[in-house]
């Protein structure tokens, strides 16, 4: 994935008007479905399903029935959008970002998700889709826990 992000950055730097996040998102969905190809074959054979119809269904659903994959794709695009424009003005990508992207795929499965302020900025905007509250500090976490009656 980090190679894909660097490739996207290079493409954007070279052809800034040619890059479209929606096309990248669709391409990532396609790549995920292709990656799952062997598993899809097994499932289709086991349940006597048409593989092409199954691929079409997965593509059209944008993998929303697989929240961890869907959230990973959503946040990868959000991450990319924050880095594509001007690396001098923006935050320089960190080597630990790939781990943060892997962790954020768990966001759909929890009520409260804690992350750093950079990832929290765009996670808060998209977390509503998953019904998750995002916090970026211990003070914020304490406030959320108290508000929900979890901590007195």
Residue 7 vs residue 111, higher pLDDT? 111
**How confident is the model over 92-141, as pLDDT tens digits?**
778 888 889 889 999 999 999 999 988 998 899 888 888 999 999 999 99
Q: Are the CB atoms for 10 and 51 separated by under 8 Å? A: no
Question: How far is 88 from 129, CA to CA, in rounded Å?
Answer: 32
Report the pLDDT value the prediction gives residue 40, as an integer from 0 to 100: 93
The full 3-state SS of the chain, as one line of letters, equals CHHHHHHHHHHHHHCCCCCCHHHHHHHHHHHHHHHCHHHHHHHHHHCCCCHHHHHHHHHHHCCCCCHHHHHHHHHHHHHHHHHCCCCCCCCCCCCCHHHHHHHHCCHHHCCEEECCHHHHHHHHHHHHHHCCEEECCHHHHHHHHHHCCCCC
Residue 23 vs residue 116, higher pLDDT? 116
Q: Residue 47: which pLDDT band, with cuts at 50, 70 and 90?
A: very high
Q: Are the CB atoms for 114 and 141 separated by under 8 Å? A: yes
Residue 127 vs residue 12, higher pLDDT? 127
Q: Residue 41: which pLDDT band, with cuts at 50, 70 and 90?
A: very high
């Amino acid at each position: 994935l980090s190679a894909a992000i660097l490739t996207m950055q290079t493409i954007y730097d070279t052809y800034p008007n040619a890059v479209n996040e929606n096309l990248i998102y669709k391409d990532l969905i396609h790549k995920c479905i292709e990656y799952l190809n062997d598993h899809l074959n097994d499932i289709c054979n086991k349940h006597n399903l048409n593989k092409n119809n199954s691929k079409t269904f997965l593509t059209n659903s944008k993998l929303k029935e697989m929240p961890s994959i869907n959230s990973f794709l959503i946040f990868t695009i959000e991450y990319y959008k924050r880095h594509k424009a001007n690396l001098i003005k923006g935050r320089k990508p960190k080597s630990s970002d790939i781990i943060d992207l892997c962790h954020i795929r768990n966001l759909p499965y929890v009520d409260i998700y804690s992350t750093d302020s950079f990832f929290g900025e765009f996670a808060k905007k998209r977390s509503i889709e998953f019904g998750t509250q995002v916090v970026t500090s211990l003070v914020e976490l304490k406030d959320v826990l108290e508000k929900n009656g979890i901590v007195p």
